[in-house]
Amino acid sequence: MAWFKREKKPIENPTPVEERRVRTEGMWTKCGACRAIIWKKDLQANWEVCPKCEHHFRLGSRKRLELLLDDEVYTELDAELASSDPLHFTDTKPYAQRLKDAQHKLGMKDAILTAEGHLNGRPVICCSMEFGFIGGSMGAVVGEKVARAIDRALERKIPLIIVSCSGGARMMEGVVSLMQMAKISTALGELDDARVPYICVLTDPTTGGVTASFAMLGDLNVAEPGALIGFAGPRVVEQTIRQKLPEGFQRSEFLVEKGFLDAVVHRRDLKSYISRALDFMKV
């Protein structure tokens, strides 16, 4: 027997070499503001706020409801409403296909979630827009869901909170989407007459027809730090007026200074801030 021969079976390798490599891809992200490399789990645990510089990343619509509503529990309203593509619109791809892709990607029928839940024990109606769904644009479905949420708040006499995150009206629905602005504004007028509180939370970005309708009509309009809020974008404004825009133009801090908004509130304080505001309004 040759002494140099291995008689025993070689130790079995539990996992093939390729699978033993540590998977790091997609686990890290770079902060756009301070350029720090952040572990995605840390970011998620911090409600998508950079732990180094407090830069507010975009928060998904479902996460937003979980942030604001007690025990992360809520009843979703009108979840089945979906667009019928009224103009049979096609640009680089058919609108119907665009809708289908977004619905598949996000597991929701359109760009807003409306829900009923509790905020620090107080019943509220809360709406949350999803930027990932065709830029959070407002078509007939978003308009209808917001209008129904307003009706429900009115009927039950409970406060309404809308968190906006949108590029504006949905071009693919043309005038149908523009009509939503008037419809929602009228409904909010009724809410105001009934003295039911309405709080707007503006997040990055809130622009176009959404800013020009429900996002700025609250009894209290608050925004997250550094959010882009405006009607037309800064580049368009600059080209039209042919002047250099001041620093921080259309950012929430600038808008508070100019009286367009009531306050800038850090995401971690948002829930307690709204709760205190509602206490103040005695509801």
Give residues in contact with Zn ion (CB under 5 A): 31, 33-34, 50, 52-53, 55
Q: Which is nearer to Zn ion, 46 or 120 (CB)?
A: 46
CB of 61: closest distance to Zn ion in angstroms? 23
Q: Which is nearer to Zn ion, 62 or 267 (CB)?
A: 267
Q: Which is nearer to Zn ion, 156 or 268 (CB)?
A: 268
Which residue, 223, 234, 232, is CA-closest to 260?
A: 223
Q: Which is nearer to Zn ion, 53 or 73 (CB)?
A: 53
CB of 39: closest distance to Zn ion in angstroms? 13
Cis amide leading into 205 (omega within 30): yes
Which residue type is seen at 252? S
CB of 131: closest distance to Zn ion in angstroms? 19
Q: How far, in Å, CA of 182 to CA of 187, rounded?
A: 9
* The two structure tokens encoding residue 277: 């505001």
Q: How far, in Å, CA of 102 to CA of 72, rounded?
A: 24
CB of 54: closest distance to Zn ion in angstroms? 7
Q: How far, in Å, CA of 182 to CA of 160, rounded?
A: 18
Q: List, in order, residues 6 or more apart from 242 with CB less than 8 Å away.
A: none
Whose structure tokens read 């001041």?
246
Q: Which is nearer to Zn ion, 48 or 78 (CB)?
A: 48
CB of 167: closest distance to Zn ion in angstroms? 24
Q: How many CA atoms lie within 13 A of 5 on its CB side?
A: 3
